[in-house]
Amino acid sequence: MSKNDGVSRADFDQLMVPNYGPAGFIPVKGLGSRVWDQTGREFIDFAGGIAVNALGHCHPQLIDALTEQAGKLWHVSNVFTNEPALRLAKLITETTFAERVFFCNSGSEANEAAFKLARKYATDHFGAEKNKILACKNAFHGRSLFTVNVGGQPKYTEGFGPAPGGIAHFEYNNIESLMTAISDQTCAVVIEPVQGEGGVLPADRAFLEAARRLCDQHKALLIFDEVQTGVGRTGFLYAYQAYGVVPDILSSAKGMGGGFPIGAILTTARVAASFGVGTHGSTYGGNPLACSVAHKVLEIVNTEKVLAGVQNKHERLISGLHAINAKYAVFKTVRGMGLLLGCVLSDAYAGRAKDFLKAAEERQLMLLMAGPNVLRLAPSLLIDEIDLADGLARFDAAVADLLAAE
* Beta carbons of 252 and 230 less than 8 angstroms apart: yes
Q: What is the dihedral of CA 348, 349, 350, 354, to 10 degrees?
A: 170
Query: Kindly report the CA angle at 364 between 359 and 365, in degrees rounded to 5?
Result: 75
* 334: exposed, middle or buried (Cβ count in 10 Å: 0-12, 13-18, 19+): buried
Closest CA to 315 of 339, 283, 288: 339
Q: How far apart are CA 317 and CA 48, in angstroms?
A: 15
**What digits encode the pLDDT tens for the residues 372-385?**
999 999 999 999 99
Alpha helices in 218-349 (DSSP H): 240-243, 269-272, 288-301, 304-328
Contact partners, residue 31, CB within 8 Å, separation at least 6:
56, 57, 58
Single-letter code of the amino acid located at 270? R
Fold category of 9-58+304-404 in CATH: Aspartate Aminotransferase, domain 1 (3.90.1150)
**Residue closest to 159 by CA, chosen among 141, 139, 138, 145:** 145
Q: What is the pLDDT, as a whole number, of residue 406?
A: 83
Phi then psi for 300, rounded to 5 degrees? -75, -45
d(CA 363, CA 151): 34
* 383 closest CA partner among 323, 342, 341: 341
> Coil, strand, or helix at residue 56?
coil
In which element (H, E) is residue 153 found? none
Rounded distance between C-alpha atoms, residue 384 and residue 382, angstroms: 6
pLDDT at 2: 47
Reported pTM: 0.96
Residues with Cβ within 8 Å of residue 20, at least 6 apart in sequence: 12
pLDDT of residue 3: 52
> CA–CA separation, 229 vs 224, rounded Å?
10
User: What is the DSSP-derived secondary structure letter of residue 158?
Assistant: T
User: Which of 34-40's residues contact partners 24+ apart within 8 Å by CB, and which partners?
Assistant: 34/387, 35/366, 36/1, 38/1, 38/2, 38/4, 38/8, 40/1
Residues contacting residue 205 through CB under 8 Å, at least 6 positions apart = 243, 244, 245
What stretches in the chain show pLDDT beneath 70? 1-5
Neighbours of 153 (CB within 10 A): 18
How confident is the prediction for the chain on average, in pLDDT?
A: 96
Q: What is the largest CA-CA distance in the chain?
A: 63
- Tell me the C-alpha distance between 80 and 288, whole Å: 11
Hey, what CATH topology would domain 73-301 get?
Aspartate Aminotransferase; domain 2 (3.40.640)
Q: Where are the domains of the chain?
A: 9-58+304-404, 73-301
Q: 136: closest CA among 40, 202, 53?
A: 202
50 neighbors 369 (Cβ within 8 angstroms): no
DSSP labels, 104-148? ESSHHHHHHHHHHHHHHHHHHHH-TT--EEEEETT----SSHHHH
Task: Give me the count of residues in the chain.
Answer: 406
Which pLDDT score, from 0 to 100, does residue 249 have? 98
Query: Tell me, what's the pLDDT at 152?
Result: 82
C-alpha count within 13 angstroms, C-beta hemisphere, residue 207: 21
d(CA 159, CA 73): 42
